[in-house]
Amino acid sequence: MRLELTGRQVAISPGLRTLVTDKLARVLRQVNDSGISAAVIVTKEKFLKVVDVALHARGERFLHALARAESWENAVNAACEKLEQQARKMKGKSQQRTRRGSKSKARQAAADALANGVEMAPPPKARRVVRAARYAVKPMTVDEAAMELDALDASFLVFRDASSETVSVLIGARTVSTG
């Protein structure tokens, strides 16, 4: 990672450079070594030391922290703590994104459970979505619905049962009542 250390009204001592480098190494481990560059500006105000850090990571991600303290060590620690917090949040978001898409891990867990003799519940069957034209749900008998289904050449028909006033679905040759 490229480090650019700038001192405004401050001479950069080797001890200050070492302190900043060591603390940024902790942050760099947090972002899995994806840090490209860091710009650190140290400034001295009346009684306070100010540390401003901008870290550029892969994937056009930027982390920024500003800290003020009475000593350089406290200011650098506070700024790096803010960066670590941002890095943890960024890392959590990326891990959450990768967890969402991994179906192979579930399959691997099922295979491991079978190998160990643990019986697991079968996975839920995939639901099939059937697109159909819109039509009015008319009251009719089951026989009329069967004739209508044959005339439409569709796989199902939704109708209102004339005898019970419930909405029913006729699938192929059988009827499912919804209610």
How large is the angle between the packed helices 72-100 and 14-30, nearest 10 degrees? 20
CA dihedral 33, 35, 37, 39 (to 10 degrees): -110
Q: Which residue range is the domain that position 164 belongs to?
A: 133-179
Interval 31-65: pLDDT, tens: 776 778 889 999 998 889 999 999 888 777 888 99
The 8-class DSSP code of residue 123 comes to P
CATH code for the domain of 141:
3.30.505.50
Q: Last residue of a domain, which of 47, 76, 100?
A: 100
Quick one: pLDDT at residue 86?
87
Q: State the total domains in the chain.
A: 2
Quick one: pLDDT at residue 78?
94
How far apart are the C-alpha atoms of 159 and 168, rounded to whole Å? 5
The answer to whether residues 92 and 162 belong to one domain is: no
Interval 84-126: pLDDT, tens: 888 888 777 766 666 665 556 666 776 777 666 666 666 667 7
Interval 141-157: pLDDT, tens: 888 888 888 887 777 78
CATH code for the domain of 32:
3.30.160.100
How far apart are the C-alpha atoms of 83 and 79, rounded to whole Å? 6
User: Is 172 contained in some domain?
Assistant: yes
**Percent of the chain with pLDDT strictly greater than 90:** 19
